Amino acid sequence: MIKITEITKNITLFTGTSSVNSTLIEYENFVIVIDTMLLPKDSKELAKLIKKKNKPVKYILNTHWHSDHCYGNRFVKDENTTIIAHKKFLETITSEKNVLYPGRKNIIENSNLVFPNITFSEKLILNENPELHFLHFPGHSPDSSIIWIPSEKIIVAGDNILNSNSRKIAVPYFFWGNPEELLLSLKKIKDLQPKIILPGHGMPTVLNKVDKDILYLQNIIEKYRKMATSIQSKKFLNLSETDLIPNTKPEDFWVHKMHTMNISKMNKIYKINFSEEK
């Protein structure tokens, strides 16, 4: 069952399984949909809810090409929909396939993916009213991009920002991307001074969530840099979320696995092979 949250008169947030979000922006004669969910039952329900508006889907914007944000394109698009994504979309979906389904060949060709008609590299402005700025803000993945709606001061952040559906803290998640790039992108999000942030997963949030994410990233990067130049490297092997965000307890965090995946990425970047360190 999709949860519906009205953000403004024209902007609606839909939340499906795994708290994944899609955003609908309604214009006078058409709608724009940002992300299309993963499970057919969710995407079909999403398509039904969008059809209630009785307006064509002019654009689908995919914030990044992880399956939970683009698999539903086939259900949500209509005949004349233009799908837009960053030009590195294929790099992102391919690496997801290789990690999640190693050895499966031709999955890209054989799957139900509906590819973008238009790609961009840095910035694409959709000159509608309200105007949308589709900006390449990598970090969560190489193609991650945000949608900035200047007139509303709203950001649709994709998975560069994750939020839980409770009070639990979701850490920034860069296993598929790059922590330094994510840090830079979060700082750029701060510079835009949004009033509302619609995350890739979970409830709408505001800038103090970004501050917490920045703290987590700064701390993890700093600790790994120090470790790289120290001979006491084993000291940080068990780095937990609570070491990175002060005044937190382990039970304060949402989906612990994202942190462990981040750590495995850091180990890879800093070329630490734990099996040799027994």
Residue 12 or 144 having the CB closest to Zn ion: 144
Taking the C-alpha atoms of residue 51 and residue 37, their distance in angstroms, rounded to an integer, is 16
Size of the site for Zn ion (CB under 5 A): 3
The CB-of-145 to Zn ion minimum distance in angstroms stands at 13
Tell me the residue type at 6. Answer: E
The CB-of-21 to Zn ion minimum distance in angstroms stands at 9
Residue 13 or 227 having the CB closest to Zn ion: 13
The CB-of-105 to Zn ion minimum distance in angstroms stands at 25
Strand order in the sheet with 145-149: 123-126, 132-136, 145-149, 154-162, 196-201
Could you tell me if 84 and 61 are in contact, meaning their C-beta atoms sit under 8 angstroms apart? yes
Residue 2 or 55 having the CB closest to Zn ion: 2
Give backbone dihedrals phi and psi of 123, rounded to 5 degrees, phi first.
Answer: -155, 135
| 202 belongs to the binding site for Zn ion (CB under 5 A) | no
Q: Which stretch binds Zn ion (CB under 5 A): 46-54, 169-177, 199-207, 250-258?
A: 199-207
| 68 belongs to the binding site for Zn ion (CB under 5 A) | yes
Could you tell me if 104 and 154 are in contact, meaning their C-beta atoms sit under 8 angstroms apart? no
Q: Which stretch binds Zn ion (CB under 5 A): 97-105, 139-147, 151-159, 259-267?
A: 151-159
C-alpha distances in Å from residue 254, one per residue of 182, 183, 197, 204: 19, 20, 18, 16
Selected from 24, 200, 202, 272, the binder of Zn ion by CB under 5 A is 200
Taking the C-alpha atoms of residue 6 and residue 25, their distance in angstroms, rounded to an integer, is 11
The CB-of-35 to Zn ion minimum distance in angstroms stands at 8
Q: Which stretch binds Zn ion (CB under 5 A): 35-43, 45-53, 156-164, 255-263?
A: 156-164
Residue 12 or 63 having the CB closest to Zn ion: 63
| 199 belongs to the binding site for Zn ion (CB under 5 A) | no
Q: How many CB atoms lie within 10 A of CB 136?
A: 18
| 159 belongs to the binding site for Zn ion (CB under 5 A) | yes
The CB-of-181 to Zn ion minimum distance in angstroms stands at 17
Q: Which stretch binds Zn ion (CB under 5 A): 75-83, 128-136, 194-202, 257-265?
A: 194-202
Give the per-residue contact string, 25-64, with Zn ion (x = CB under 5 A; - = no): ----------------------------------------
The CB-of-113 to Zn ion minimum distance in angstroms stands at 15
* Binding residues vs Zn ion (CB under 5 A): 68, 159, 200
